[in-house]
Structures are given as structure tokens and as C-alpha cells.
Chain A
Amino acid sequence: MIPIKVLVPSGVLGLGFDLEALNNGVKNNPDIISIDGGSTDSGPYSLGSGKSKYSRAAIKAEWKSLMIAREKVNVPLVIGSCGTCGTNGMVDWMENITIELAEELNQKIKIAKLYCQQEKNFIKKKFQLSKIFPLNPAPMLNDQLIEEMTNIVALAGAEQIQECINTGAEIILAGRTTDTAIISALPLMKGADPGSSWHGAKVVECGALCSTNPTSGVVMVEFDKTGFTVEPMSKNAFCTSETVAAHMLYENADPYILHEPGGYMDVTYSNYYNIDKKKVRVEGAKWHSSKQYSVKLEGAKISGYQSSLLVLLRDKKYVENVKKWTDKLSKFLKKEINDRMDIDTSEYSLEFRHIGLNSTLGELEKNIRIPVEVGVLCLITSKNQISTEIAKLINPFLLHFPLSLNEELPTFAFPFSPVHSDRGCVYGFALNHILELDNPMDAFQIEISEV
């Protein structure tokens, strides 16, 4: 069965890929097509709300190309972390899209769904049994925090994806999964070198980002008993030993070690060399199995309800004194909010950011100069949905607040009507923990359907 070829169309479904390169990949007879569907990279909103970051239309258009490609080669098509966050609802959302497409394309397929979402009571029980451990750094876990979370998922690894492959499903829709497991699962099953299976998966998890032409998307990785070979499928993309090796640095705190369910891989002694202009061969990664099987947990909770206002200052005196102005204004507003609304400062946060001065880096900014204008972004986050009312109270003062008492009332620039924007519910990541399991499937469920 070895070698095993895995076709990776792009770093994530929704980002786009080169169709010609996808066709080249199909012509090279892959044994499986694997694509990631999610990440925490865009922040906690997706997991908190259980919604996809990308539009349904973009997902459907790209998934259609992949379902057509899959039918041509008749191999499994796997997506991990459906709908960005990989909740059960997002697996079902992806199934809904798949069913629509199967009807449009007149395809008859067997689907395996891997559910990775965790019940709060299950997590509470595991926490009480000391089966949940914090990584560094991690929020302090307790029953109340578990209760506050809107969604909790466990990251599936190769074992759970292999269970799905073993069902004989043509399409596998997985909930939250490590980026690499959807790629390493098949080569590991078929006896490829374990260290290289994980290393190769890590190299191509962002598609053609390991090549000279990242936006072309499509790459093929071939695994065998001693290593792997990676090749971009676009005619305008090339892999070099440097582009491939450099990918271990990307989004990785440690450039040599990658933790996965069931162990970790170490690439300290890996060798990278070009076979030809396009292909790179890699050998030498080591896999270390852990005694205790564990999976990583992700969770998000509601941080509050947020409203924002933006005001533009062009008057030189105010631009030069903007920090002093917002400090005075903030103090004044907190008193007004307390007097008029009877809301204590512990119930909300009020923050001013100075766009043009240091709104990107905050206190770390070293290079503050006086600009021609400043945007003042006012952010109100409250425990309940009162942030809108607070924003409305702030509105006239943001427009007219004077620096000194004996001056004519200033009027600044509001770019919008209404001035405030309700950002609704905002979320925060609440877990950076691992969950120990006796059996890899203990926190996961598979459902099969046919269309």
C-alpha cells in the first residue's frame, strides 16, 4: 500500500485554490484528499457562537470542486474542523451543504460525521476525576467556568479520523481536529514512518504555504517507510528545502516539537533536500508515543456585550492633547454613567484607543509622533446588554467635550449615523487544557449517512 499520496487542496476551505493545480493533483492519483476547515486563528467568535467564519457560498463553491475531484479518483475526501470551530452544529451545516451538492451533482455517497463537541457535565466529571490538565498558560478551571462556556470541543487526532476511514465513507466531515491529523491518518494506518507522517502533515497543513507560491494552494505529499516527499501542484510553485523547513516555524512556539493526541514529534534531526526543482525530500523526524492518551480541549465563553463609537479629531490642539482629553472624558463619563444610569464601573469596561498614535501596539509603542488627525475608538463592554444604552449616553460628550472650561464648545467629526455600532455578544477563549482518555473514541462519536 505504501507509498501513500495525500492531496491537500489548500490551507483551509474557503480561502480559494488554483483549479488547474487541483486537476494536476487529481491526475497524480492521490489516495486521499484532505483539507482543513477551521482554526482558532481568527479569534474566539467562531467557537463562542458556533458559526463559520467563511460564507456558506464560498464554502459550497469550493466543496463542489473537491467533490467533483473526489469522484474522479474515487478516494476518500476528508475535511477537519468543519465550519471554522468544529462544533457539532457546524458538522451538520457541512453535511447540509454536502447533501445539496450531491443532489446537484447527481452523486451517491456515504458520509461519516465525526462529532467532537463536549457536554459540560462530561467535562465537569472529568475535571473532578482529575483527568483534565492545564497547559501553559491556562485559565483557572472550575465548575463555574465550565458552566459559562457556550461551546467546548476536543481536538480529534489520527485515531478518530482512522475510525472514520475504516467505515468506508467516501466523505468524512470531522468536527474539531488537529490540522495535521486529517493528513497523517491514512499514511499512519498504512505503515508509513510515524515521525515522517506527522512531519509531512505539518509541512502541508497550510497548503502551498510551504512553497514559493503560497496562494496556489494545492500540494501533494507522498509518505513511505523512511520519509516523505512534498511537491506543489501549480506549475508556478516550487518547494525548496528552505521553504519546507521554514514551515515548522510558522505558528509554532517550538520549531522542533509538535504535540499531537497520543504523543509528540521531534524534527531536530530531520534532513531536507531538493530532489528536483519542485520536489523536496525529508527524512529523520521521530515520533514519541505517550503512555497516556490525551486530546486538547478548546472552549469559549461570553465575555460581554460590546458597543463601539468612533470620533475623528482634526483640530491641532485636540490632536496634541488627545490622551489628556480622553483621560478627562473617561473620568467624566464614569461619573455620568453612575449618576444617570446607576451603573457601577464594575459592571462594564470603557476603553479609548487612539488610532494614529498607538492603537495597534498600545503601551509597547516606542514611536509616538503627533499625527495630523486622530481617530478615537471608544469601546464599551458590559456584562449584560446595557452597552448600547451606555454608548448613547456617551454620544453627545464624545462630540462636544471641551478640554478646558472657558472655551467655546468644540464639535468633532462623527463619520457615521447612528454613531454607535452594536457589536453584540463578544467571546473569550476559556480553555487551554488537555483531557486524558482511556480510549481515543471516548470523547467522540461517529455517525454514518448515505445520500
Chain B
Amino acid sequence: MLTLGEKVRKIRSKNAGPFWITIDIFCGNKKTYKEVCNKLKNSEIINLLMISEQQLKRFEIDDLNVIKFSFPRKIIQGDIFDRDMHGAQLAVLLSEMKF
């Protein structure tokens, strides 16, 4: 079984200000985009990131073949318990997901 990271062109995550994280899944082509849009459930993302359903925003951007998730940080950027100041390593969790 492929991982999501093997399926798509690129997955990145990043702070969107100190209080939010945003994850972009660049599918690379329309076929993959449609497939990921259909198969990737919000419930999987919520479980993976341990956030509540109300916190997750999902955007499907047809023109760019991109699926985007945004959610508030559980720990504010730079708080003493923050482990990843830029939130960029979170993308790995999605990349390694079985798809």
C-alpha cells in the first residue's frame, strides 16, 4: 500500500502566524487530486493531529490540485512546550499515512 506522500507531488506544513498551522497537499495532477479529495477523510486528519472536528478547516483548490488543511495550534508558537517553532515537520505525519 502506498503512503500519501508517495501518492502526491508534495506535502508541506507551516505556521500561519503564531496561532495557526496550515498543511498543503500538492497532488500534482487532476486524477490524483480527485482521488485524494474523495478518499482522504477529515476524520483521519483529526485522529492523526489529535484535534477536534470543529477546529479543522478544509479547502479543496481545484485550479491548483491542492487540498489544504488549517487548524489552530494546540501549543502557541514558541511556548515553552513547543517542539517545532515553524510547524514544518508536521507534514511528515501526513506523508507517512497509509493511503
Contacts and interface: CB of A to CB of B under 8 A. Distances in A.
Interface of A: 40-45, 135-139, 242, 245-246, 249-256, 303-304, 306, 349, 351, 353, 359-364, 366-367, 379, 381, 426-429, 432
Interface in B52-73: 57, 59, 61, 63-64, 66, 68, 70, 72
Interface of B: 14-20, 22, 24, 26, 48-50, 57, 59, 61, 63-64, 66, 68, 70, 72, 76-86, 89-90, 92-93, 96
B80 A253 contact: no
B22 A251 contact: yes
Given A249-B22, A255-B68, A43 B57 contact: no
18 contacts: A40-B77, A42-B85, A44-B77, A45-B78, A138-B19, A251-B16, A251-B17, A253-B57, A254-B70, A303-B80, A349-B81, A359-B83, A360-B83, A361-B84, A361-B89, A362-B83, A429-B77, A432-B18
A353 B78 CA distance: 16
Given A245-B64, A251-B14, A253-B57, A351 B20 contact: no
B80 A255 contact: no
Q: Which of A252, A306, A351 is packed against the most chain B CB atoms within 10 Å?
A: A252
Contacts, number: 102
A361 B80 contact: no
Given A137-B72, A253-B16, A246 B64 contact: yes
A296 to B, nearest CB: 9
A303 B79 contact: yes
A262 B68 CA distance: 27
Contacts of A246: 26, 64, 66
A44 B78 CA distance: 6
B59 A43 contact: no
A249 B80 contact: no
Given A245-B63, A253-B70, A254-B59, A349 B18 contact: no
Given A361-B90, A361-B93, A306 B80 contact: yes
Contacts of B61: 249, 255
